[in-house]
Amino acid sequence: MKNDKLTQDEYNALDEVKRGTQGERVSACVGRNTKRLAGIKLFSIARNGRISLTDKGEEVLFLRRCVLGMRAIEADPASPLDADVALFLGKKSHIVPRAEGGFELSDKGRESLADIANQGL
């Protein structure tokens, strides 16, 4: 995603669509973000009007969970991580397990977080 920084409201809309919309109508949050999120291909809209996440939308949400997980580990090494996030960050050598439990950021993980912060994400 080139310069497609998302707002918290847009992330909320992605999360809401991932969970599934209740009933026929979408929430105000999803409604006000649909045009932009569909335009950058994070949502797809079916002919019947049903909104769903694209693969790219799923990836954006997963990467956000990874970044939030790394920030949580940075603040508190005992922070819990979802299994899929811990597996991914471990494979990418961003975190290493601690003997006393939990994880700590590797040098690569700290560099990645610094890069993310410099990009304003």
Read off the pLDDT of residues 49-90 as tens digits, 9 standing for 90 and up.
Answer: 888 999 999 999 999 999 999 999 999 999 999 999 999 999
Report the pLDDT value the prediction gives residue 2, as an integer from 0 to 100: 44
Residue 56 makes CB contacts below 8 A (sequence gap 6+) with 41, 42
Q: Domain residue spans in the chain?
A: 8-53, 59-118
Residue with more model confidence, 2 or 24: 24
- C-alpha to C-alpha distance for 113 and 100, rounded to whole angstroms: 23
120 pLDDT higher than 80: no
Give yes or no for residue 3 having a pLDDT over 60: no
What separation in angstroms does the CA of 37 have from each of 17, 19, 33, 42, 76? 11, 16, 6, 5, 33
- The closest of 45, 69, 68, 40 to 56, measured between CA atoms, is 40
Task: Provide the CA 36 distance to its chain's centre, in angstroms.
Answer: 17
- The one-letter amino acid code at 12 reads N
One DSSP character per residue, 9-58 reads HHHHHHHHHHH---SSSPPHHHHHHHHHHHHTTSEEE-TTS-EEE-HHHH
Chain centroid, CA 70 distance in Å: 12
Instruction: For residue 48, name the pLDDT band (cuts at 50, 70, 90).
Output: confident
State the CB neighbour count (10 A cutoff) for residue 89: 25
